Amino acid sequence: ETGVTQTPRHLVMGMTNKKSLKCEQHLGHNAMYWYKQSAKKPLELMFVYSLEERVENNSVPSRFSPECPNSSHLFLHLHTLQPEDSALYLCASSQGPDNTGELFFGEGSRLTVL
C-alpha cells in the first residue's frame, strides 16, 4: 500500500467510448503525475500537476484530458481512443513537481482499446 489508489484496475473500451481513470493520494503531496507504460518501452510522462495546476503536458494527444480538482485527486478522461493507446496508465505523487523527492506510484490502470 503506497498511499496512491487508482481505479479501475482494468478497463476495456471501444474506440467511440468515453471513460475516466481516477487517482487518489492520501500522502499530503503537492504534485501528481500520469505516466503511460507500453510493452517493452520506458515509462512516458504524460502530465504533471502541482497544486492543482498543470505544469507539464508532454505533447499528449487531446483524446487524453487530465483533470485535477484538488491536490488529492487526479483524473484522466479518455475519449475516441485508438488501439495503440492500450497500455498501463500509472498515477504517481510526490512532495514537489521537480522530481527531487521520492515518487509514490499507484497500482496502475490497465487499459485495452478494442
* Residue number, 15 or 27, with CB nearest to another protein: 27
Instruction: Enumerate binding residues for another protein (CB under 8 A).
Output: 2, 37, 40-43, 45, 88, 90, 92, 97-100, 102-108, 110
Amino acid at the residue 98? D
Are the beta carbons of 31 and 93 closer than 8 angstroms?
Answer: yes
- Report the nearest approach of another protein to the CB of residue 44 (Å): 8
Q: What span, in angstroms and rounded, lies between the C-alpha atoms of 57 and 4?
A: 21
Amino acid at the residue 87? A
Q: DSSP labels for 32-94? A: EEEEEE-TTS--EEEEEEETTEEEEE-S--TTEEEEEEETTEEEEEEES--GGG-EEEEEEEE
